[in-house]
């Protein structure tokens, strides 16, 4: 049921076009997945997501396990029916949440004992129960339970977590039962090149249908993230989808597509929207600034989203300053539309054999004060 095909390869970078086939439809790659942690992309309806070109979303098995419960969602026919989204869904396993809520949990070889951040109740996650939860949810792509370490971390700690992630992946693979659900492995290893290579090689030997690179954007600087991702992607199979987890500024997406990654997720477009930070073809802007109080122009004059077609910067600033709910709605819609435009533009450039012609001017425009010769070379290395 699940299939991934590389349909085109850029001649100057490692960027490639691909197609993911799932039980709930196809996804053109490279693709950005809006984050629907609780079974909803904040401030946005499934219909609006479709209208701006979204083909796949990401939900979180950890949060849905706690509330409202995977069993209840299963009774409603699965997460697709429960949330009214008929396209593909990928669920993160909860490994990152374990990392981010580490004061509430204890990691052992068997699994993770933790207390709910909602009510303090005790729970126990294992690689097997995480697979079972995602099978109850009925999603198209499930992630194995992994162990993530913070940056900076000691080499020994990163090695132990990476080794355990491999053992957990093997256990998860052994119990999967749904043929209509693909289970992806997650490469760990901290910021250490040899651990990243070892993790990738061990997981590839287990023959998963897709591979993610996790454990980045957890405290290390962006240049370190880029270096580790560039090193790791070289060991991932060409014919399998490559998913870079939790990384997602627009300029980063361009660079990571150039390195050969196919799938991305990040909360930045929705979280920033609620804080008044908006992404445009000319860079980021804070709509709360006084300079926009009388600005009659649309947010982004080249954008075709509902927000840009119907409202002025002055009105958007007014909503943000007044704390109106519509501010979050309109800002989120625009930011997500911008991200889908960016991914679509990269796919179109790749199809036309002009990826570099799109990437270079885009990077120069969105980050004119930080761009350098080193950074220019980084996206095409």
- Structure confidence by residue, pLDDT tens digits, 341-354: 999 999 999 999 99
Residue in 10, 92, 140, 146 annotated catalytic: 92
| CATH code for position 132 | 3.20.20.105
The pLDDT of 304-308, averaged and rounded, is: 98
Whether residue 225 is found in the same domain as residue 206: yes
Tokens for 85, please give them.
């989204």
300 annotated active-site: no
Domain boundary among 205, 236, 266: 266
Q: In what order do the strands lie in the sheet with 122-125?
A: 105-107, 112-115, 122-125
Whether residue 204 is found in the same domain as residue 284: no
Whether residue 283 is found in the same domain as residue 232: no
* CA neighbours closer than 13 Å in the CB half-sphere of residue 285: 20
Q: Which domain holds residue 50?
A: 3-266
Residue in 10, 146, 262, 265 annotated catalytic: 265
Res 117: pLDDT:
86
194 annotated active-site: no
Res 377: pLDDT:
52
Whether residue 317 is found in the same domain as residue 236: no
Whether residue 49 is found in the same domain as residue 152: yes
> Phi-psi region for residue 62, left (φ > 0), alpha (ψ -120 to 50) or beta?
alpha
Tally of structural domains, the chain: 2
Whether residue 103 is found in the same domain as residue 248: yes
Whether residue 101 is found in the same domain as residue 182: yes
Whether residue 113 is found in the same domain as residue 184: yes
Whether residue 185 is found in the same domain as residue 277: no
pLDDT per residue as tens digits for the range 37-75: 999 999 999 999 999 999 999 999 999 999 999 999 999
Judge whether residue 267 has pLDDT over 90.
yes
Judge whether residue 101 has pLDDT over 90.
no
Whether residue 80 is found in the same domain as residue 173: yes
Tokens for 235, please give them.
């060991």
């Amino acid at each position: 049921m699940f299939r991934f095909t590389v349909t085109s390869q850029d001649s100057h970078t490692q960027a490639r076009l691909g197609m993911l086939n799932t039980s709930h439809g196809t996804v053109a790659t490279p693709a950005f997945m809006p984050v629907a942690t609780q079974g909803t992309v904040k401030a946005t309806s499934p219909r609006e997501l479709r209208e701006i070109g979204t083909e796949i979303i990401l939900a979180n098995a950890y949060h849905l396990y706690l509330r409202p419960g995977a069993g209840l969602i299963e009774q409603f026919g699965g997460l697709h029916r429960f949330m009214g989204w008929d396209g593909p869904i990928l669920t993160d396993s909860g490994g990152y949440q374990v990392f981010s809520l580490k004061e509430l949990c204890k990691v052992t070889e068997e699994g993770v004992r933790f207390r709910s951040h909602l009510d303090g109740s005790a729970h126990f996650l294992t690689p097997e129960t995480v697979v079972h939860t995602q099978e109850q949810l009925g999603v198209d792509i499930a992630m194995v339970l992994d162990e993530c370490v913070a940056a900076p971390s000691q080499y020994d700690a990163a090695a132990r977590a990476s080794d355990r992630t491999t053992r957990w992946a093997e256990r998860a693979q052994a119990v999967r039962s749904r043929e209509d659900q693909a289970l992806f492995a997650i490469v760990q290893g901290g910021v250490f090149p040899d651990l990243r290579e070892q993790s990738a090689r061990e997981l590839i030997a287990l023959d998963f249908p897709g591979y993610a690179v996790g454990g980045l954007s957890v405290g290390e600087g962006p240049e370190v993230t880029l270096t580790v991702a560039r090193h790791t992607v070289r060991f991932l199979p060409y014919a399998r989808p490559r998913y870079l987890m939790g990384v997602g500024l627009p300029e980063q997406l361009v660079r990571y597509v150039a390195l050969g990654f196919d799938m991305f997720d990040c909360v930045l477009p929705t979280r920033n929207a609620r804080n008044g930070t908006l992404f445009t073809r000319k860079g980021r802007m804070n709509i709360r600034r006084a300079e926009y109080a009388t600005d009659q122009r649309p947010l982004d004059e080249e954008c075709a989203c509902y927000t840009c077609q119907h409202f002025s910067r002055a009105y958007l600033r007014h909503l943000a300053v007044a704390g109106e709910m519509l501010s979050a709605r309109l800002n989120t819609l625009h930011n997500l539309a911008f991200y889908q435009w960016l991914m679509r533009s990269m796919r179109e450039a790749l199809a036309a054999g002009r990826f570099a012609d799109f990437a270079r001017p885009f990077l120069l425009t969105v980050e004119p004060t930080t761009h350098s010769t080193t950074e220019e070379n980084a996206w095409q290395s």
